[in-house]
A and B are shown apart, each in its own frame.
Chain A
Amino acid sequence: MNTKRSITYLFTLVLLLVLAINGASLAQNQVTITFQQPWSLDSDRGRVVQSLIDDFMAANPDIVVEIRDTGVNNEVFVTEVLSGDAADVVMFGEDGVVLFAPQDAFLDLSDFVADWDESKRNDFYESVWGFGTFEERQYGIPWIAHSMALIYNRTMFEEAGLDPDAPPTTWEELYSYAEQLTSGEQYGYGLVGLQGHDMAWSWYNFVRQNGGTLATQDGDDWSVALNSPEALEALEFYIRLRDVAPPETTTTGGGEANTLFVQGRVAMYVLGPWAVAGINNEAPDIEVGVAPLPYSMVPATTAGAGLLTVPRTTQNPEAAWRLIDFLTEVENQVKLVSTGFAFRIPTRQSAVQDEWFQEHPEYIPFVEGLSYGYSPIVLDIAREWSVVHNEVVQAELSRAFIGEVSPAEALQSMENSGNLLLNR
């Protein structure tokens, strides 16, 4: 072997070692935090998250962020918190926040929020901001959100002699439009009639649009408020919509309603922003129109959010907060939701001024929907309500829908059985 060459190799090796040691000592001034989010890093969405994190690290050389992309699962999260292995920033739906905040799983972020510029805090839609609040403390910062809107087929509108730029705005218009859009194998409205969560929130929309509410508080006691004239009208209207919905409506959930629209079987239905992206993907020929939900008294829609939380086990709350602060900047929210498959919307009001929304006005109704958005969960009594919602409301709703009981009887049972559960 050539001696000269081996000396060169040796020299290079020593040099590399020195550099590595230097690098390691440099890294000592850095903190490493973990960010747990639901999208796999080799998916399109995961790659956007990765590029956001790269931007963050470039702007904050003292913080290294490791992304954990194993999804966010309640049981796994509990195990991680108990074993001290939870990430420093975790994205949760509002159901996760209200489940774990009372159990002291999260750091209270109120003091960090107080340090924010007021214009940033006030730019968040109040509805989704409230999803992260528990007993007046802030445990989650809404990152991305969704609301529901009326999605319709513009071509079918034209064929039925309806103006695609003037979608229905009231219940009566919704019904009469749907009637005109029903002919042969085409139906006006993709009604959700499969017993379950989708059917319940679909009906809650009508209850709230009619001025009703889900539960009321009297002192410390909560009671079911669904046995009201407003809710009764809403239920009667919901059942009436069966006349303009396809016969398979009793086995139609939210996903199936979407399929019916993509197949050109229904002209209108209600779903979130992901549906629009999905239709553009699967059926690019359909000319999609999006409008705020029609209502009878007050505008209202179901909403949900992905919130950024900091588990209390974190060693680096400052760094975690700086990441949250960065991710909730408008341009980063828009970047996340708009790249590729636009599935959610930003949580901040100024987002609609972003160029992307000017190019995609069909997403604006979803953003604006957040100004009158409600969670289908009664957040203050999330655990108790989930039993009422799953065991009582969904079953009674289904019973009324298939005509086993009258709407009034169904609401009476919701009140009786629901209150028993709330006061257990």
Chain B
Amino acid sequence: MISRFFRRRINAIVHEIRFNFWPYLFVLPALLILGSFLIYPALSAFRMSFFDWQLLGDSEFVGLDNYLRFWELPNVKTAIFNTLQYTLLNVPGTLFASLFIAILLNQEIRGRAWFRVLFYLPVISSDVAVSLLWKWIYWAGERGLLNNVIGLLGFAPQDWLGDPDLAMPMVVLLTIWKGVGINMLIFLAGLQAIPRDLYESAQVDGASIWGQFRYVTWPLLRPVTLVVALLLTISSLQVFTPIFVMTGGGPANHTLTIAFYIYNTAFRNGLYGFAAAISYILFGFILALTIIQRRIFRDVSF
């Protein structure tokens, strides 16, 4: 019974490949690359998460130990807390900044294309290069670029990345600047899908600019907003590069995030099993979040 089921499945697959040979051939290179550099490592990390993994020598099978005991690792709670803090700042921050800019750039203004390019430029810049650049902007003391600017306004220089209360918001500010471009683009697409006659009839009914936004733009943008929020949440939970380049998790672990913590656990502390387990917990968390947001998204009427 079961074997017949499988035989039928296999026959179906063979049939499928025979009749769609060329398309499958064309996706094969991408499939091979993704398979060896994405899927295979991900699966072997899953296996690793059940072992006290040794680079050389025998790895000991520990069952669910890494999943049940990761809580005992030092700083892991700090990393979770900081990541949530980062997410709570970054998601609304980037979302509203992108929406605002998208609305501005949706108007008939001079040099509109140029502005769109300018806002998009940070997106295609290298994360590492941009982080280094911002590290200099945030440089403490009177020589820092930002300190120079606020100095002109009469404020005292700040230790932007060295002050425990400022460090994380400053990292978020960089990611907002970096992320605005791509999300602005998504919002622009959403804005242009809104029929113009809705605005015309709103104007006829005497709606103000705010009224038009509140009762036309915002509700019609809701699906787009949800997509942006979802993408932002996923990327926020995985933030790594700016932390790695700018703060090293400091000062005093105030910018230690989960992704950076996983990196430390594996590549600095050699606890590969724990690192793999935390990665999968993070994966599960993101997956759950995605499913929930998809549910909400599905219930939205267009």
Contacts and interface: CB of A to CB of B under 8 A. Distances in A.
Most interface-central of B72, B164, B252 (chain A CB within 10 A): B252
B270 A99 contact: yes
B169 interface: no
Interface stretch (B50-58, B94-102, B107-115, B201-209): B50-58
Interface string A388-401: 00111011101101
Given A103-B54, A251-B140, 16 more contacts: A75-B55, A78-B56, A81-B56, A100-B55, A100-B56, A194-B247, A196-B248, A248-B143, A251-B159, A387-B74, A395-B249, A395-B253, A398-B253, A399-B253, A402-B164, A402-B252
Contacts of B273: none
A401 B251 contact: yes
Contact of A105 (B56, B143, B270): B56
A137 interface: no
B93 interface: no
Q: Which bracket fits the contact residues of B? A: 35 or more
Nearest to B159: A250
B144 A248 contact: yes
Chain B binding site: helix, strand, loop or mixed by DSSP?
loop
Interface residues of A, number: 40
Given A194-B248, A250-B251, A398-B253, A391 B74 contact: yes
27 contacts: A99-B55, A100-B56, A103-B56, A193-B162, A195-B248, A195-B250, A195-B252, A247-B159, A248-B139, A248-B162, A249-B140, A250-B159, A250-B161, A250-B163, A386-B269, A387-B74, A391-B264, A391-B269, A395-B249, A395-B252, A395-B256, A396-B252, A399-B251, A399-B253, A401-B251, A402-B164, A424-B72
B151 interface: no
Top 5 closest A-B pairs, CB basis? A250-B162, A195-B250, A247-B141, A399-B252, A103-B56
B162 A392 contact: no
> Which of B248, B249, B250 counts the most A-chain CB atoms under 10 A from its CB?
B250
Contacts of B139: 248, 251
Contact of A195 (B249, B268, B269): B249
Interface of A: 74-75, 78, 81-82, 99-100, 103-105, 185, 193-196, 246-251, 253, 383, 386-387, 390-392, 394-396, 398-399, 401-402, 404, 417, 420-421, 424
Contacts of B227: none
B253 to A, nearest CB: 5
Nearest to A405: B252
A391 B138 CA distance: 25
A2 B251 CA distance: 83
Interface of B: 54-57, 72-75, 135, 138-144, 157, 159, 161-164, 246-253, 256, 264, 268-271
A296 B171 CA distance: 39
Nearest to B72: A424
Contacts of B264: 390-391
A82 B256 CA distance: 34
Given A104-B56, A195-B247, A398 B141 contact: no
Nearest to A196: B248
B76 to A, nearest CB: 9
A82 B54 CA distance: 12
A104 to B, nearest CB: 7
A195 B162 CA distance: 9
Given A391-B74, A398-B252, A251 B162 contact: yes
A56 B249 CA distance: 46
A74 B267 CA distance: 9
B56 A194 contact: no
Nearest to A105: B56
Contacts of B55: 74-75, 78, 99-100, 103
Contact of A246 (B57, B141, B269): B141
A417 B74 CA distance: 8
